[in-house]
Structure 1
Amino acid sequence: MLFLGIEFFRFLSIGFMNKWFVATLMACSFWINPFMECLGNPSPGINRGFMVPLEWNEKMDIPFFIDPELTGPDRLCMIFGSVIGDFSGLGEPATDVYSWQIISPSNVQLFNRTGGGTFQNISFSFGQIGNYSVSLSVRRGNTVIYNATKSLSVIQGPSLILQPDYLLCGRNTVSVSVLDSNTPNLDQYTFQWKNAQGAIVGTTNTLEVSREGTYSVSLFLNNESGGADCLINGSTFVGPPNDFKLNISKTLVCLGERITVTPDVPFLGDWSVLKEGATSRVDMGTSFSLNFNTDNELGGAGLYRVFFNVADEKHPDCASEREVLVEVKNGPKFQSNLLKNASDCEMENGAFQVTANSPLDILEIKELGSKIFDIDQNENMLFEGLKPGIYTLEGTYNGCTRSSIIIVPNDSPPATQRFQLEKIGESCTDTGKKLGEIKVVFLDGAFEGEFRLVNQRGSIVQSGTIPNLPSLELTVSGGNFALEIVDTSGCTLPEELVFTIPGKNFVSYSVPEEINVCETFEFIPFTTDSLLFSLTFPNGEVINKNAGEAFTLTEAGSYSLMGSSLLANPDRCPRKTDFNVSLFEPIVFEEKLASQDCAGNVVYEAELFGRNPNTVSIRWLNENGSIVGRGSQFFLPAFGRYFLEVQPLESGYCPSSIHEFFVETPVFFVDVAISAEMFCPNAPSATLSVQTDLNTGDRLEWIFTDLNGKQEILKGFENNKTAEVENEGSYEAVVYNDRGCELGRDLILLMHSADDPPTLESIYYICSETNFGETIDPGAYEAYEWYFEGNLVSQSPTFKPREVGDYEIIVTNALGCSFLGKFSAFQDCVFKYVFPTGMILSDEKRHFEIFVNDPVEEAKVWIHNKFGSLVFFCENYSVVPSVSFCNWNGNENGRNVPSGTYIVTLVYRSERFGLNEKVSKSLLILD
């Protein structure tokens, strides 16, 4: 299965929602990056995290402003109980104010936030299947310039079946699928498979794999705008159970050269070759290594794939196979024909012809010292006027060289030079074989001169002088030879034909040249014959075993193995082979947790304590014994029981060492709930309490955001389930685990009681002579007490001061919160403002409006709801006395605001009286 995860992260600047993030991994060695992403692609043009610069019109010398636009996915796929959606409002983050709202399928408001540039883009975690509504309103200055709503469909993501690792067994292919074949709407998905080189190798749900390597896949649903919804990225590794590579002596050879192929791990396995264009392989037998002649055992020049297939005892039904490529080039082809013998030593009248059966770059006759260049195919070359003797022909073509010999006999050799040959073939001994023998008997008695013995390719096997002897004995291995005898006068007498010394074959068995073992190894030479093996250990000890029996190797050093036939009359000779044994120190390793992110993505690492990871084979296994990871890093596909196995490379002979470990499923979420006691306006503080499980979480953090959006962490309350606070604003309690991952949070908006302290001016002016003065209405309360100079003078809801002096008022609301207000009355006819404490939306005569008299010159008004969101704003820099202004009918964005208590804030100025005051009071809105 793909490596899927869920990550918590905090919403920028306000951090009040749990955010789950599904990340795409990257998979390593070999489950490189193996993470999955199930996010709708952001629409083009979203500049996440940066401010979009203004474009400038040079001709008009004015800036172009980018218009707001609500962009985001049309569909999201849910895989793990939630999925993140990213949305943007575009516009100008330096000047625009963004108001976002998200409504659930059950018509519940899930998200409602307003702010500046930090709210240009938002991310929200959707935890329920269904259709959502996402709305955006953008205000630039005092004007709402954009309103839009888009629909979002959150659907159930597909069932993923892609595994992190697949075994590639021998010549078989393996089917790799991403989705179950019964997945609904499977035909609506677009698939793209790539190999490790980035080439596209498939475009369907299932990929047939025949080559080892890492394969990545992307699948998605096409949306109406041509983008990709429900994008999923994943990767898997396909390879054999065993780690080894093949070493080849040459990858480019000439036809006729020998090739040796050896696995770097001394495995015993089956060899085969396949020529390009052929449909079936050629079986090359079973052995520890392959050595063959390209002329005799291949089908001519061409490109060949050499395969090595080895069984694995842990996966008996899955053989490991690897291959190497070798190119065999055509070399020179020619043939020679004797046309005429030489009459005698003195007559140079011998002749032969060479026919080029292929083009030749060079033809060289070494004994003549002649070279002919650029010979065409089928061209004939005549060589005549030749003395008797052996002539070596060497042709070169296509970078390859081939040689042969031709003999020009001597028809009239001197009597003193005549000879005959006695040929004795090779024979077996107890420890190997005895070489063959050539005995040259001079028919006229003792002879003095020289000899030259060459093989059929013209290479000199032996040469030298003959010091007046009646015979000459030469020891040679089996093969085809030519001999010439030269007397002291320079007369050459060759044996007229190539002759053969019969050879003997060695018994057949196979052992590796190097064996690397850990502590001990049961070594069995491979043979199909009935043989007796004698192994000489480094200390000189000799132990005999029959074929199929094991030698126990426990020490490093050089070993000698003698294999002899057990047949009564063997036709093959004993054979001795030397090999070397190296001992590996036991590998010390353990699994180590490398990282674990907030999504639950877990990475383990093989701790090798200083050993080079490139020298070992690493396997991560699940509890069923299946390979789920390779390499030093392991990206956990699921929580549960696992095993780590580490073996040295270039050795298949180490006892299995496995570490078992168990990964517990982490806690991703805890419930957090905040409650607050009544915050009376005259109370110095209020107590907040949080209900949560700190045994699961590691740390509790309190975050405060004031009414201006400034945020701070309340250091003094960390890990406290209660907090005594003094300021109005938003309070959040956030629970983290020991890795700093957020497990849950809750937010509460703490405001003073909806019945604010009485709205009073500090000074009221009266005119005693005319009885002119303002009637003071402090608001709607349960009880009122007006005091003048310390004496109770009234208990009415309103009061009109008539005497100059100091006053106090105590009001009490329905919740029992008492508020004290003070003011003074001075002799003057100065009045300030009047606005209602209540309004009825359906009554046009009872809407909101403000009156001021002559002393007030400027005024600004804000009305906030109980969540602190601004619902109405007004400003007037030229106030007309006794004329209403800042009239409001309770409408926001074309809709009436909900009933409830709101906060009215009035700022007014008077240069004449030196006033610059701010007042707030409650406004009760009824439908």
Structure 2
Amino acid sequence: MLFLQKDWSEVFPIEKKSQEHTYKTTNETLIFGPDRICNYFGTVIGSFSGGGIPETDVYSWQITSPSGEVEFDRTGGFQAISFTFSDVGIYQVKLEILRGGISIGSELKEVELVPSPDILLEENNFLCAGESLDLVALNPESPEFEEYQFEWLDEDNNVIGDQNTISISTPGFFSVRFFLLDSEGNLECETTISTEVLDTGAFSILSDKSEICPTELISFSSDPPISGDWFFEKIGDPGKFFFTSGEEITINPNSALNGEGDYLVYFELTDPNNPNCKIETSRPFTFNPEPQIEFVSAESADGCSGTDGKLFIRALTPIDLLTVEGLGFSELDILEGEIVEIPNLKSGAYSIFGQLGNCFNTLTAIVPLNNPPDQLEFEIVDEIGETCTDEGKLEGSFTVKLENTGTNGGYRLFNERGALIIESSLPGTDEFTLTVPGGNYFFELFDESLCNLPQSEKIEIESLNLVSYTSPTFLSICDEFELTPQTSQNLEFTLTYPDGSEEIQQSGQSFTILEEGTYTLVGRIPGQSVICPVRREIQVEKVEPVTFEPVLISEDCFGNRTFEANIFGRDPATVDFFWFDENEDLVGTGQFLNPVSTGTYKLDVQPSNSTACSNDPIPFEVREPVLSVDISLTTTKLCEFGPEAIVNLETTFPDEVTDIRWRRFNEAGEIVELPQFNDLNEIQTREGGTYEVAVFRFIPGISVEECELGRATVQLDLTPDKVAFDIPSELTICERFELIPDTNQELDFFITSPSGSISEISTGESIVLDQTGVYTFLAFDQNSPTPFCPEQKEILVSRVQPVVYEPVLVEEFCDGSSLYSAELQNYSAEDVVFFWRDNTGNLLGQDQTLPITNPGSYFLEVQPAESTPCEISPIVFEIAEPVLSVDVSLTSEPFCPDASSALVTVQSDFEQITTIEWWFTDPDGNQRQLNDLTNEREISASLEGTYEVRVFNNIPCLLGREEILILRSQDEVRPDVDSVYQICPRLEIAPEINPGNFAGYEWYFEGQLVSTSPTYKPLQIGNFDLIVTSLEGCTYSASFETEEECELRVQFPTAITPQDNQKPFLIYTNYLVDELELWIFNQWGELIFHCKNDQLITEESTCLWDGTYRGEKIPNGAYSIRINLVNYEKNINKTQLGSLMVID
């Protein structure tokens, strides 16, 4: 069948099909769920499920409230639902099940929402020793109380009762399960509650301390932890007073208690179900006063080392322990008003510590020094109090004047509470000034021997008050900030900006802060110096406005949505969120919002701990949630041969639909899922049946789950009427045939060839058939609209294939003629016709073979014998001019005396040659074929004689032959060189070596080619090789080495015997000497022999002398020799002297 893509709505108009539901009733139960639901907490969720087959069925649920209002109405593929019940009374739950758009059953079920019983069991109950306790689960006045059943369990899950009330005599954990039974005995409204029965004797109070000072806090808690009432009672006062309720408390004794003393803290708890059993436990603690002591008098110490000084201290409160810092003195249990004497003291300032309980207090006391040494005498002068400045106050000061400037030692300054303020070495001047805050101080001086001289009187530095105001030390602003210092005084404020500019405002007025940086604020009362100004720094940081936008991040199927304030990576802890609903009411301050209404909301996000930025809130729309949509399905006709029927889907709120799923119910009621149509609003199909579509909403990243918005069905049936046309059912062709379908209607034909290609023609037009197989003709009415469906018919085409052939050379002959044959691949010879033609078109033959004697172009055409000619072109083939002979030549290398063979090479037109034969004839005339050298173009001739080559073509015909005579060379000439040569590289002196007359020369030094000249002058020390090529082409080699000799040398004997042929006077020179001249003198200086030679031969003797002078032997004795040596090339002259002994 043929499927085409086309807008068929123009051909087949869309028809609206309505759907009618037939409601059926059945005795089978369709709704499964409770008959009764208990409302214990205001609302309760009830769950129901339906029968049927969830994979195929559609469920239509409806729930009506006791008032008759439909509160739930949903249709979809959900077999189970959950509903929140809130109104006490009878609800109606209705379910209709549809399969393939047809109702297969419905049911109505009544569900009663029962109000919650009145639960009396408390979370905690109390049991007093020796008593029992009645635990009651429900108020007997509760609705339907008589129908409830009970089951009590102890902490080991043992059943201990089955009534509303149970008697308990031991503490522990207990639970009760109560429930109702429906008509079939199933549990309903099942609930379990628990309680802990506590033993009142097991309670206690825990605390972190048992004594407390005025500057400390104390905490109490109940054990076990439980909320109750807390009381305090001061021992000696009538009654106790209530403090607060809870599990634990922490108090400040100065504000919570009635002065110092001994106290009891009480924890009390009463069980309303057992008012006679009351928890009451207590714990004692003491609120100690701060110990108070005062200085009474002092007795001076006599001298620096004297220890007879005394202090007298009065206890203003009881004192548990009195000690002196740095001494071993201590006094216990001092009564109020008692005076304590502290004896054996050296002069100086002392810190006195008083302890009462765990509370402490200190003061400073002075032991004066009688008869102080002169070097410690001093005077306190110029006691100056604190003074005001423009921005605050200066500390006060006093001056110490020393009587003796040479004093070495130090000083100490104590405050009146005994704290050491300053300890330092003396500055080395006769007076110095100390700067201190306002207050009372004691001063003492000491020398290197630790002799202490205190100032007996207090040093009083007047203290000044500061103005009072508050201002932030740090500001984080966005755009600007109005700074208003807070004060109850009439102050003038000066604000210094980061750029140094100043602004003055009065109390209650504001400064505008725009820039970040460090600001300085000074508050003062103008025109007076009693109350000093206060200067404060304010660090201003400017923060960027928050970039934000509201984003919907979550939405479920019931309209619940979550919006997020997207702050683009900024830390949520650093910003504040403000969500406003459609009424401009603030409804959220977190990063996320779950709106409960619809309309235009707004979001504002501001930096935390900063002034608000001026950006406007961003509005966004919270739309009414779309929980369902209306669905409309329309279809075109369904035809057997197409076009495919179009099913079109339209919905309300199309933008809400994100997913679409289709399925089909066939006649057997089976469901066929159609995933290929997922998410399509329009589908095309060739299958009849009931089509169902379900639409869903799912937004990735937002939707919590896929929500069904609705579903609908439509019935699609086959239309029988078709267009009319005729074509043959079978047709045989050779290669192609033009066919015109027979019809009297105006049709469009879509023809599918066996290869699958589609052609389109209209009535009266032809189609070329050129493939073997079935052609499918699908015809459509050109008129629109039309009552006819397309018709489809087929033609089986048998096709005779063209002959696959080629001309093939069968045989060639040595006279140049050949025999050709037509080689067939897909036919036998009897089923075809042969046509051989020359280049003029003349028919030469119709047999399968054809002899050809002339070169040229020829044509072969082969057609099927029982078919019209196929549209083919004859095959052209060329007969080339035959090659009957070729030129052949032989060349040979010389057969050198030392060579084992000579290379013989044949030259010819090898493109024409198929076979090469080699033959050998020895000097005796014996001939043989060299079979192992067949088809070789080069051979090695190792024997003297005649070598012949014969060449053949592929027929094989002899095309040519050639001979060559090979004889071994008789040349005996070899290179003539010495084995060693003396040279002088630095003087560039060396012999010119001439090895002889050859055709080529190659001189190598240490393996590297250095020259190709006939002669060579070596100037390097080492080994040389010479390779020469003879005129016949043979190569010969020789080697020599060079030795360095750069001195002109001569050798001669040191003694001779005159006229002794065995011991003559001979002189030798080396190769550097070109000319030699010799003089021999007797002892009187007379020349007796002279020789000069400029034709010297290296290492051959010259200047032969027999030891005679003028024919007579010379007498025995010593003779002087002088030799001159000359080198012509480098113009070197050398003279050598020597002596010669003549012995006869």
Please give the range of the TM-score, normalised by the shorter of the 2 chains.
0.3 to 0.5
Does 1 or 2 have the higher relative contact order (CA < 8 Å, sep 6+)?
1
Point out the structure with max Rg over C-alpha.
2
TM-score (norm 2): 0.37
